Structure 1
């Protein structure tokens, strides 16, 4: 018999099950409490142990690829919590993770200066996800995945779209794809946001979670995240703030400065990678934004380009 969906899992039952799971690991639970902030398809329980340590038990409807989490931890060390699967009687999937002693970025009242420092540190962390420096490592991915997918977006998803500027931009990116072949492959977190980046008491990044859907792509494929991290969205409208431009500048400058010496002359390829990654994030399964949102899609891409060029 399959487990009921997470939406039907009561907090008390989840807390009791988390304590049971922890006991199977030869740990002694003192108190289990469901966290206030929960994911859409998960329920997370904080378990305090009698020896003072804390672990996290997460119940999910979908499976986590713990090999990707382990790969990320291999790249970034303790910034990525160790995670492993356990059996549960109340959920389809359950996992135990190390506790991050910090707060989500979105919960921290950071100054503009602190946000810039965090953005700079994040850029360095993303550079830490590089697998190697061989330019040949990217060629097959560009030819057999990136180029065909861009073409299908143009030929299928945007076939009947009348907003020509975004189609023109994607055609331009297609023409620049060969430039990606100089970049190394990296482990790409596909949804970096202020809820899965954690900060310590000094407002320094000390945790990044939600690696289970990470992809192996050219370096820079996820650095478009700086747009959403630095430009708030209210009522579905982008609202540039005082922090937006300085954060973007700090991020790009740190990223470019951290590139290996042989890649710095190819820094513009990072921008191409970022813009293509942004397009792919908007066309999930080739289903893209509504036609009336395509101008905003283009505006965000142009913002990435202008802030990047200003940092060069």
Structure 2
């Protein structure tokens, strides 16, 4: 819950529409044309193509300061196990709110040899994250299904941009399978919670 609250509180209150038009959409299109142009992974290509068509819906989200690597190594806890700090902000960017929400996947699963394994805590952690995130949204956004649906799309877009970060566009077939599995998990876990 604390991670969800923290990420929601990074909203800046400004529109993200320009960032979606000038960075998010071009980046997704670049990934489609350069990273998936010769690859046989049609399922992933199809999912990213769907995200390109859904990306304009994220313009309703406020712009947010996005920590692009929310993981256990970057979270400092106090003596009561509350989050005291989130460190390692050098790759931070300004993107639609929730773009880094996909990180809950890494925090709620065990990763061995680059494969995610769900545990008995995965689903409760995801639900707690979502509750903390939604409860910390500005009141005018909190109860809007279109906003919550856009957050799920932003989470998926953030995952794709993370997986295909500049300089790492050539993913192996196994990495593409993993990316697709993570996209599926985000969809199956959070889209029902959004009320969409």
TM-score by length of 1: 0.59
Answer yes or no: is 1:268 the counterpart of 2:149: yes
Instruction: After TM superposition, give the deviation of residue 199 of structure 1 in Å.
Output: 1.1
Q: What is the alpha-carbon distance in structure 1 between the residues aligned to residue 126 and residue 9 of structure 2?
A: 19
Q: What is the alpha-carbon distance in structure 2 between the residues aligned to residue 192 and residue 262 of structure 1?
A: 26
Pairing of 1:7-18 with structure 2 (within 5 A)? none
Work out which of the two has the higher radius of gyration on C-alpha atoms and give 1 or 2: 1
Could you list the per-position Cα deviations for residues 5-41 of structure 1 after superposition, in whole angstroms to 9, with x for gaps in the alignment? Answer: xxxxxxxxxxxxxxxxxxxxxxxxxxxxxxxxxxxxx
Aligned to 1:305: 187
Structure 1 residues 166 and 139: alpha-carbon distance in aligned structure 2, compared to 1, 3 A threshold: same
Q: Choose which of 11, 34, 38 in structure 2 pairs with 1:130.
A: 11
Q: How many residues align?
A: 190
Aligned to 1:189: 67
RMSD: 1.4
Aligned to 1:284: 165
> Is 1:282–1:288's contact at 8 Å kept on the other side of the alignment?
no
Indicate the larger mover: 176-185 or 262-271: 262-271
Aligned to 2:135: 257
Unaligned runs of 5+ in 1: 1-119
Aligned to 1:206: 84
TM-score by length of 2: 0.92
Task: From the two aligned structures, give the one with the greater helix fraction.
Answer: 2
Pairing of 1:94-133 with structure 2 (within 5 A)? 120-132=1-13
Q: Which has the higher contact order (CA 8 A, sep 6+)?
A: 2
Instruction: After TM superposition, give the deviation of residue 311 of structure 1 in Å.
Output: 3.0
Aligned to 1:229: 107
Q: What is the alpha-carbon distance in structure 2 between the residues aligned to residue 121 and residue 139 of structure 1?
A: 27
